[in-house]
Structure 1
């Protein structure tokens, strides 16, 4: 086995497992990390969080690296640092790396590492350590407690954050480190009595760099605030997470800490509480779909065809690693297109656009919906389909009776008298989103990766068959 065969896809999924978990590969990675750590530091476990594979181009794995400073494995010396490791033809540094390194050095955010980057050409390997990122150039200063203190003090002075968030000492933790893609930081007050935990979602600041990712922090902040106002005025038992501030200079949105648990926890339990919160989620989504479509902040509508195109663009790894499944997905998407053309459509409404169960939080006083980055005008069936697909994605196994109970509970909350055409379109969208889960969300490092993907595809096929039977009976 060699890394070239892994990156090309010739080694299939077992090759990726070899690159991630074999003794040889882990020894090489550990050696490269130790080379950029002080001599007295101990390298602990490396826990994979996500793996992305672009056949013939690059394999990237994101880890949480556990480090023990001063050579002692104690709670006081322990820290966790996210890293990104890439192998392949694209594993080289861009022209902006000098600027990113200089920014990190200026803010002294490398420790306990001596530097935040490393190369191992023999394996076409590149290592990046948080907070290094050439596209999110402000990430280094947003990881510097001194800058955070000054930034939040300015936000307080300008009225963008409350005095509850003014403290002299902040602890910065990287929650999500995905160089070039997205970052989330957690700010904890050094003294909890003098402040409250905040979360910082970082956006690309420079217009040139944003050509790669078009998320707009200012638009997201405006949409989230306006939606929160509208929902608070018209609905009880559901809230939308209101951001505290958008700080344009740092291109970052600040959010308060939420109380409760994500709805995904209930999706895994499948009990009476799950059914109750599923009904509440249906009602919450109905509330969102009744909002003025202009609140989405975008004029161009999103449709099922665009959703299918996004799946096709991301399906190359499946086609290479599991060719028979890739062919099955292609055939199923063709069936979806044909069936969708036969269904009556309705005008676009306001939609959330990314309604996973982890974006709805449950507390004693009701539900809170969060993360409106993808809000847009669209067929409401897309939101419904994605939510129901994600609910099933959270489960270890599928039981037909439980799935039927899921539909009953959700639509009892959404609208018991929902038009039949909407429920049929939602079922078709659910099939598409199950395929999306198969293509994009099953972690490549999981031992049952192949069987989980095959299960999702089989379940999507069952949903498509169900829609086809319904349409046959209507003719």
Structure 2
């Protein structure tokens, strides 16, 4: 039997992917990639090629993610000083680690053309090169917006290109035509992989020459054509909501999908995520924010949004049945068993328990679902609630969205310290029960249906927690992984 110190070490290694000996062996440059000082020196030599006019004064490591079978993506924010005029500017650099120098060279070639397309753009003017290979680390680095996984990001960040696109898209979307004359492009959200969300701020005028306020449009660039579904699903949902007399929620207006750039365009809607903040204030004994909504009101609103989606009758999106979700988790288990055996063994047990639980109830008919329904996707402006991010819409059991929401609500509660006291745990359970009760009332479910749905919700909540645990590990977030593991153990204990 493993001694206490050995068990503790194994547990630490399980929670922190950076401690994985197998992962460090697979990616020899991993340790250096997480050393900010060392990476600052590497980037200085690679991006400026000996030009001492520009000095990297600061290099901060940002998001990172291990991608099974592909390598590891690491982002850096650098501050560069122009010694000729003392001007300091920031730049975002993406690094991709590979198992070998040969693999990194193949990826490098795919980025060279993208880097060439950046010539003449002011945002990369000081840099001698926009993409480089760090051979000692088997690592490629590229300046934003050069991204080999998102090849159309270069075009989608070009103000002149986007301005022409939005000149065609905006007039038909507004009652009083707005003519944009200037476009500013900012990063709204650039995760480690799969997509990038851009914020376009437009200056312009009315078609009659009158002044007009700024217009904000969000653009999401993906590595595939999934945005085409969003461009169809969002108008369909807006149409269904407009025809209803029940409590409505706000959905952004779609400005279309630009296939050549794999760019989905949506008008901005007002509001900010509030559920997690209100929950934190409640659990930490604060008085709570003034005005609307209250925490209970925001939970009720979330339930109404979910009910509105699920009863919309929209038949768009691919199918996501429970067996497919479990198969995806089985692939995650294989990765963990190879790279983090201690966590992989536990994950195997949890997945077996989830599969057994799934076999004890019948699936519900699939309906139009969000696919990533969580508190952060709900924006509140006064009493009005809005829903965003539609690139994961699908056909699934209602429990997929409901379980996902509850999983992330519990994680938010744990972050706020709910698990540290009986009162905090009870308050969290009341909110979770309130969400499900409000949803069932909104959908008109009777007692029998309510109990059957609760069983399926518990299954999908576990699925979301298991997925969160795996993603937390591969994104080098040991603290969040520890929260997820605690919730998984607690939920499974309730099944027994």
- For 1:174, what is the secondary structure of its paired residue? strand
- For 1:168, what is the secondary structure of its paired residue? strand
Distance 1:47 1:372, change over 3 A: same
- Which of 371, 382, 385 aligns to 2:403? It is 385
- Which of 407, 410, 416 aligns to 2:435? It is 410
Deviations 1:36-63 (A, max 9, x none): 6964334244344421124686222123
Compare 128-137 and 113-122 and name the one that shifted more. 128-137
Corresponding residue for residue 245 of structure 1? 256
Q: How does 1:55-454 map to 2 (within 5 A)?
A: 58-69=71-82, 77-89=88-100, 90-94=103-107, 95-105=109-119, 110-156=124-170, 159=172, 166-177=179-190, 181-189=194-202, 194-204=213-223, 210=224, 215-234=225-244, 235-262=246-273, 263-270=275-282, 273-294=294-315, 297-298=316-317, 300-315=318-333, 318-320=336-338, 322-395=340-413, 396=415, 397-399=417-419, 400-416=425-441, 419-441=450-472, 444-446=475-477, 449=478, 451-454=479-482
Indicate conservation of the 8 Å contact 1:224/1:372, yes or no: yes
Indicate conservation of the 8 Å contact 1:7/1:57, yes or no: no
Q: Distance in 2 between matches of 1:107 and 1:7?
A: 42
Indicate conservation of the 8 Å contact 1:50/1:443, yes or no: no
TM-score by length of 1: 0.82
Corresponding residue for residue 473 of structure 1? none
Q: Distance in 2 between matches of 1:464 and 1:5?
A: 27
| 1:190 CA drift (Å) | 5.7
- For 2:254, what is the secondary structure of its paired residue? coil
- For 1:91, what is the secondary structure of its paired residue? helix
Q: Distance in 2 between matches of 1:288 and 1:69?
A: 52
Indicate conservation of the 8 Å contact 2:373/2:404, yes or no: yes
Indicate conservation of the 8 Å contact 2:40/2:59, yes or no: no
Distance 1:359 1:285, change over 3 A: same
Q: Distance in 2 between matches of 1:70 and 1:133?
A: 28
Gaps of 5+ in 2: 1-17, 205-210, 289-293, 420-424
Distance 1:7 1:44, change over 3 A: farther
Indicate conservation of the 8 Å contact 2:65/2:192, yes or no: no
Q: Distance in 2 between matches of 1:301 and 1:130?
A: 35
Deviations 1:198-228 (A, max 9, x none): 2111234xxxxx4xxxx42222111011112
Indicate conservation of the 8 Å contact 2:26/2:99, yes or no: no
Indicate conservation of the 8 Å contact 2:47/2:131, yes or no: no
- For 1:261, what is the secondary structure of its paired residue? coil
| 1:164 CA drift (Å) | 6.6
Distance 1:287 1:131, change over 3 A: same
TM-score by length of 2: 0.79
Corresponding residue for residue 207 of structure 1? none
- For 1:200, what is the secondary structure of its paired residue? strand
Q: Distance in 1 between matches of 2:220 and 2:50?
A: 28
Compare 366-375 and 304-313 and name the one that shifted more. 304-313
Q: Distance in 2 between matches of 1:12 and 1:311?
A: 22
Question: How many residues align structurally?
Answer: 446
Gaps of 5+ in 1: 205-209, 470-475
Deviations 1:291-336 (A, max 9, x none): 1141xx23x5212221122233334564455422221111111111
| 1:246 CA drift (Å) | 2.5
| 1:233 CA drift (Å) | 2.6
CA RMSD of aligned residues (A): 3.4
Q: Distance in 1 between matches of 2:21 and 2:157?
A: 32
- For 2:124, what is the secondary structure of its paired residue? coil
Indicate conservation of the 8 Å contact 1:198/1:254, yes or no: yes
Q: Distance in 1 between matches of 2:182 and 2:50?
A: 26
Distance 1:333 1:164, change over 3 A: farther
Q: Distance in 1 between matches of 2:113 and 2:433?
A: 55
Compare 402-411 and 34-43 and name the one that shifted more. 34-43
Distance 1:453 1:20, change over 3 A: same
